[in-house]
Structure 1
Amino acid sequence: MKIQNRISKSGTTLVLVFILYILMNMTACSAPQVVSRTGNDMPPLDQLRDKIAYLVDDPNLFNAQVGVYIESLESDETVFARNEHKLFISASNMKIFTTATALLKFGPNFRYKTGVYHSQNVSDGILHGDLIIRGSGDPSLASRFSASGDSRAFFYQWADSLKSKGISQIDGDIIGDASYFQAEPLGYGWQWDDEPFWYSAQISALTFNDNCIDVTVLAGAQPGEPPVVRFSPPTSYFTVDNSAVTTTADSIRTLFLTRPRLENKLLVRNQIPLNKPKYSESISVEQPALFFIHVLREVMEESGIKVRGNLRTVHTVGEINYTGTSQLFTHVSPPLSEIITAVCKRSQNLYAEQLLITIAAEYGDNATAAEGVRVVKSTLYGMGVAENEFVMHDGSGLSRMNLISPNTVGQLLRYMARHRDFQYFYDSLPIAGVDGTLRRRMEMTPAQGKVRAKTGYVSFARNLSGYVQSADGETFIFSILVNNYLHPTPAINLLQDRLCILLANFKR
């Protein structure tokens, strides 16, 4: 999910937005006190519809595009619909289409496999020839899947496996075979100024640490000193150009981190106040397959395995003939059910893109994003989704070229709710007031713990779609898409939250 703002705004604007958010959130902490325009002698469902319409008709949204679709799963009844066939920028709501298709095609127990091969014999502790890492698109070689929280833990395990086979030296090269994917490293329609940041990490069949360097910046010991910059994983793959300074404790932090295009160099600029909390950011890397084997070699050498050759990456299918190689071992990922949970809970763009290309590799004619999109569309059309209500260009929703309708989202949610693997899909979604991107929304309201939904955000587009349990146990599917708004985004969040609270409170 794209980070909303990286440019410092005036203090006045931030204070006003914060006050607005607090005041609206105070109201949202209980059932919304919505004034009915037709009285309370109506049937409960009609009252609910009236209250929803009252919120959706907020005059502050007069110049925005608002689409809503709400349906009861029990009765198949449309509870409310507004602009349900209109097209909206999907933002990260696109992820539920990608993860649903992956679940339908592969099943919840699918696992990625990364093979480790050697090209010649092993004798006297020496691996003669090359060590080859054959990637399959596994996104899980990352800290979130490591028990220790260190993404290098997987490589330390690999080094131990090599040493257990008596290998203490590699005479040849370490080769990273990323040819399983033929996709471009960036998605169609992605913005150039997003490239340095984690949510725009490059796509590769060899992926490590989310294809990012995790950066922590701490103030120096006294004003005038440069701040301290630390990397995780610690590696020489990235260099640092640090011209930032530590300033007095009462100053404002204007620290800015970025990476020049096509370079693996971190730029640290502006100022960080003394005695203020550390600043953290994840910066994407160029050539992720090379990053993968670079850190692998560092870990091998740290573990006592000498590497005498060079580092090479392969991106062309068939360039390596595996007929003359031997497999040393295979690394197996967690099951797909855990990977789609990482996609949706945190709104992890890279993982969604990896899934899309994997779908293309396994069910399409080639391993490209366009072919993955074709397979997803074919799957959706089989559900009854209209071709003119769904436009897809990437797996994550980062591209502003993606378009969906509330009706299309509703069709997907309904289909998945009746599928045998629904529980895995349902469990992957953030829970209101509990975890993921909804952890701080709808807290201490009737909707807390009763809403499972996917958020979505790019500039001027804020979406929320999923499931909600009513007060008497009825399940509703909903999609609330808001585009082209000038109202503060926290106010759009509150509109969506209040609609969810209405549904969570509803009794027939």
Structure 2
Amino acid sequence: MKPYSYLYILCAFFGLSACSTSNRIPSSVGNFFTRDTLFSDHFTGFLLYDPVKGENIYAYHGNHFFTPASNTKILTMYSALEVLPDTLPSVKYMSAGDTLYLRGMGDPTTLNPAFGHQDEVLKFIAGFKQPVVFCKDHFHNNHFGEGWAWDDYPYYYQAEKSDFPVFGNLLHLSYHPSREELILYPGFVNVNYEINDHWQLYRDLQDNNYEFNWPESANAVHINSPLHMTDSIIEKVFNTYLTQDFRISESCPASDHWQTFYSTPLDTALSVMMKESDNFIAEQLILEISGLLSDSLNTEKTIKEIKARYLSEIADQIEWHDGSGLSRYNLFTPEAIVTVLNKIYHRLSIAQIKKIFAAGGQSGTIARWYAADNGLPFVYAKTGSLSNVHCLSGYVFTDSGKILIFSFMHNNFTGPSNTLKINMNKVLQYIKSNF
């Protein structure tokens, strides 16, 4: 007799519903957290949820607070889906007399290499031939977010926020030793570089003078570093594209006749943000949302408004302070993240989810992790990483055809996150095979 037949006889004799397969499986998932030592040396939260039945399958510290890091972008994505149109607003514009007035809407895609250096809004503005006044009276925001690391300002992942971003608000530098060729984008910044025996990057907080060092052994050099977003940069960009007069003003005339120019499809921006974990895009999308919910660009007020309007059911489960997850002030529960993923699941098609989220073993930040044995993705998810923080939340596609929602949150571990990823993969592979 097969071993499981004894269990079947006992269940039939005693009529124990607890012997059913559906009830045995969750306790087996729980073994990874309560019996094994896979996640015992740090703080871990986990939740597995069935969006069809609308119920939790297994929870481990699911209502505890954790630093989410870039899992914050899941909330930013959902907020963008709720508020933004299918194409991103780029500028508001108004003709009054012989002048064209502009207000930047925070569009992150203009001249950004991640979006093919698209310059549609600049061509649109150039077509008016009127003098241009660029208004800044609506930008009520710091360039950096609450709880960001002050000494990360020269690094690519902490670009400044602005009302009219260009180049991804980054300097893009490439050097090819074989040709002794230095390529800068944009080309109007001041760069000093030296080839020696080590890597070094320096830029003062308040200017755009850069100093780079790299070792002679480097085959090719590609460096991105944030620009300090000043009026001077905007002036140089507009003067490059426009033939008409241009000036920046702290105020614009009051009017009900503002119109909007749109640039890039929203799902394209979301795909780049979620797959590559682009902090800059996330922050700018919150500002874009702000421009539609109010008459100003203000991250703090907008997040409060989003929580009240669209996320009231989890308002007491999140401390939310930025769009990207760079802030150490952010605190979410696994339950809160799963709630938002469930909203996304019921809003988008499966094809859209697969387009936007990184695919295990195939794309984005999980291109080298969570692949099935046949090499096909079964996990579509968002990572979140800071020092001593690693999270993974998204969708797992099981062998039986189910789509389940999960959230892993790990805080206060030491060392690299690879061991966590290996152990999370064991759990996800088990879910894939047994549900």
| 2:221 maps to 1:284 | no
| 2:342 maps to 1:414 | yes
**Alignment-derived partner of residue 199 in structure 1:** 157
**2:395 counterpart letter in structure 1:** Y
| 2:23 maps to 1:70 | no
**Alignment-derived partner of residue 313 in structure 1:** 248
SS at match of 1:111: strand
How far off its partner does 1:390 sit?
0.7
**Alignment-derived partner of residue 109 in structure 2:** 140
Instruction: Specify whether residues 464 and 142 from structure 1 end up closer, same or farther in structure 2 by C-alpha distance, changes over 3 A only.
Output: farther
**Alignment-derived partner of residue 432 in structure 1:** 360
> How far does the alpha carbon of each residue in 1:8-41 deviate from its partner, in whole angstroms, 9 at most, with x for none?
xxxxxxxxxxxxxxxxxxxxxxxxxxxxxxx999
Instruction: Specify whether residues 371 and 423 from structure 1 end up closer, same or farther in structure 2 by C-alpha distance, changes over 3 A only.
Output: farther
How far off its partner does 1:177 sit?
2.5
SS at match of 2:347: coil
Instruction: Specify whether residues 155 and 81 from structure 1 end up closer, same or farther in structure 2 by C-alpha distance, changes over 3 A only.
Output: closer
In 2, distance between residues paired with 1:44 and 1:228?
A: 65
Matches within 5 A, 1:97-112: 97-107=75-85, 109-112=86-89
Matches within 5 A, 1:302-381: 305=243, 312-314=247-249, 316=250, 319-321=251-253, 331-364=261-294, 366-381=296-311
Instruction: Specify whether residues 453 and 40 from structure 1 end up closer, same or farther in structure 2 by C-alpha distance, changes over 3 A only.
Output: farther
**1:86 counterpart letter in structure 2:** H
**Alignment-derived partner of residue 21 in structure 1:** none
In 1, distance between residues paired with 2:308 and 2:200?
A: 43
| 2:417 maps to 1:489 | yes
**Alignment-derived partner of residue 37 in structure 2:** 59
**1:406 counterpart letter in structure 2:** P
SS at match of 2:81: helix
SS at match of 2:429: helix
How far off its partner does 1:472 sit?
0.7
Instruction: Specify whether residues 70 and 138 from structure 1 end up closer, same or farther in structure 2 by C-alpha distance, changes over 3 A only.
Output: same
Instruction: Specify whether residues 206 and 90 from structure 1 end up closer, same or farther in structure 2 by C-alpha distance, changes over 3 A only.
Output: same
**Alignment-derived partner of residue 205 in structure 2:** 261
> How far does the alpha carbon of each residue in 1:118-163 deviate from its partner, in whole angstroms, 9 at most, with x for none?
7764xxxxxxxx76543111112143565xx335x4477458x54x
**1:368 counterpart letter in structure 2:** N
CA contact (8 A) 1:137 1:181 kept: no
In 1, distance between residues paired with 2:375 and 2:54?
A: 22
Aligned mate of 2:59, from 78, 81, 86: 81
Instruction: Specify whether residues 447 and 497 from structure 1 end up closer, same or farther in structure 2 by C-alpha distance, changes over 3 A only.
Output: farther
**Alignment-derived partner of residue 215 in structure 1:** 173
Aligned mate of 2:195, from 245, 248, 258: 245
How far off its partner does 1:97 sit?
0.7
CA contact (8 A) 1:447 1:504 kept: no
The range that moved more, 442-451 or 66-75, is 442-451
SS at match of 2:272: helix
In 1, distance between residues paired with 2:195 and 2:236?
A: 31
Instruction: Specify whether residues 50 and 487 from structure 1 end up closer, same or farther in structure 2 by C-alpha distance, changes over 3 A only.
Output: farther
> How far does the alpha carbon of each residue in 1:457-493 deviate from its partner, in whole angstroms, 9 at most, with x for none?
1111100101111101011100000011014211122
**2:135 counterpart letter in structure 1:** D
TM-score (norm 1): 0.73
Aligned mate of 2:185, from 206, 214, 232: 232
SS at match of 1:395: coil
In 1, distance between residues paired with 2:68 and 2:184?
A: 33
In 2, distance between residues paired with 1:202 and 1:239?
A: 18
CA contact (8 A) 1:205 1:289 kept: no
State the aligned residue count.
419
In 2, distance between residues paired with 1:280 and 1:216?
A: 5
Which sections of structure 2, spanning at least 5 residues, go unmatched?
1-5, 9-18
SS at match of 1:183: coil
CA contact (8 A) 1:430 1:439 kept: yes
CA contact (8 A) 1:455 1:463 kept: yes
Which sections of structure 1, spanning at least 5 residues, go unmatched?
1-38, 122-129, 222-226, 248-253
In 1, distance between residues paired with 2:375 and 2:53?
A: 21
How far off its partner does 1:497 sit?
2.5
What percentage of aligned pairs have identical amino acids? 21
> How far does the alpha carbon of each residue in 1:245-278 deviate from its partner, in whole angstroms, 9 at most, with x for none?
246xxxxxx3122321111111213x4134x321
TM-score (norm 2): 0.84
In 1, distance between residues paired with 2:309 and 2:369?
A: 32
> How far does the alpha carbon of each residue in 1:56-85 deviate from its partner, in whole angstroms, 9 at most, with x for none?
765364331100000122333422211111
**Alignment-derived partner of residue 93 in structure 1:** 71
Matches within 5 A, 1:36-51: 44-45=21-22, 46-47=24-25, 49-51=27-29
Matches within 5 A, 1:160-199: 162=127, 175-199=133-157
In 2, distance between residues paired with 1:40 and 1:179?
A: 72
**2:47 counterpart letter in structure 1:** Y
SS at match of 1:413: helix
How far off its partner does 1:175 sit?
4.2
**Alignment-derived partner of residue 12 in structure 1:** none
SS at match of 1:377: helix
CA contact (8 A) 2:308 2:315 kept: no
In 2, distance between residues paired with 1:364 and 1:117?
A: 18
CA contact (8 A) 1:215 1:281 kept: yes
In 2, distance between residues paired with 1:491 and 1:194?
A: 26
In 2, distance between residues paired with 1:79 and 1:446?
A: 27
Q: CA RMSD in A?
A: 3.3
